[in-house]
Amino acid sequence: MSMPHPRYDYGQAVRVTRPIRNDGTFMGKRPGELLVRRGSVGFVRHYGVFLQNEIVYEVHFIEQGMTIGIREAELQEGNAPWVASAFWLRDSVICQTALGVEGRVVVPCAGKGRVVAVLADDPENIFYHVLFDHRVFLVPERVLALDDQDSSFFQINPID
C-alpha cells in the first residue's frame, strides 16, 4: 500500500472549509466547542498520516492563537475563491423574525433551529435550509443569528 502524497506544504496558507469543533482531543476546550470558524486561514506547520490513508495537517491559526490537526479533505488553498457565509451545517441558529405558512406563524421570533444545508452560490444572497421543530424552512441569512448558548453538538439526531 502506498502512502498518500500531501497537497499542502510547510508554511502554505490554507483555509478550513467547515467549522472545526473539539472532538475531545483538544485540551482546555469542551467537546463540541467551536475551535475555528469555517473560512479561517492558517498556515501548515507539519503533516502526518492517520490510519495509513488520510493526511492530517498541523495548522497554526495566528488570529485564534492555536494549532489544530485538520484532515486534508477539510482544507483548501488559502487564496482560493471563497464565499463567506455566517453559518454552516449543524450550527444552531435563532430566527430574528417570525416565519409563517399560509398566514399562520409556525416559527416564532427567537425560535431556535439547526442549519441542515447552506445555499451560498451568490455571496449577496445566502440562504439556509433550517430545521425548526421537525420542519425545514428556506431562510435568508439576514434573519438568522448564531445561537452561542447551544452545546448540543454531539447530541444531534440524524434527519431521516
Task: Say if 115 falls within a structural domain.
Answer: yes
Range of the domain at 33: 13-77
Share of the chain above pLDDT 70, in %: 90
Task: Give the three cell numbers for residue 37.
Answer: 470558524
Residue 150 pLDDT: 62
The contacts of residue 128 (CB under 8 Å, 6+ apart) are: 85, 87, 93, 115, 116, 117, 118, 119, 138, 139, 141, 144
Total domains present in the chain: 2
Burial readout 56-83 (b: 16 or more C-beta within 10 A, e: otherwise)? bbbbbbeeeebebbbebebbbebeeebe
Same domain? For 70 and 109 the reply is no
For residue 13, is pLDDT > 90?
yes
pTM, full prediction: 0.60
Task: Say if 126 falls within a structural domain.
Answer: yes
Express each pLDDT in 48-106 by its tens digit: 887 777 889 999 999 989 999 998 988 999 998 887 788 877 889 999 999 999 999 99
Express each pLDDT in 135-151 by its tens digit: 999 999 999 998 877 65
- Dmax (CA) for the chain in angstroms is 61
Task: Say if 40 falls within a structural domain.
Answer: yes
How many other C-beta atoms are found inside a 10 Å radius of the C-beta of residue 151?
13
How many other C-beta atoms are found inside a 10 Å radius of the C-beta of residue 2?
6
- The contacts found for 119-125 with CB under 8 angstroms, 24 or more apart, are 120/83, 120/85, 121/83, 123/83, 123/84
CATH of the domain at 110: 2.30.30
Determine the Cα angle at 135 with ends 133 and 140, to 5°: 100
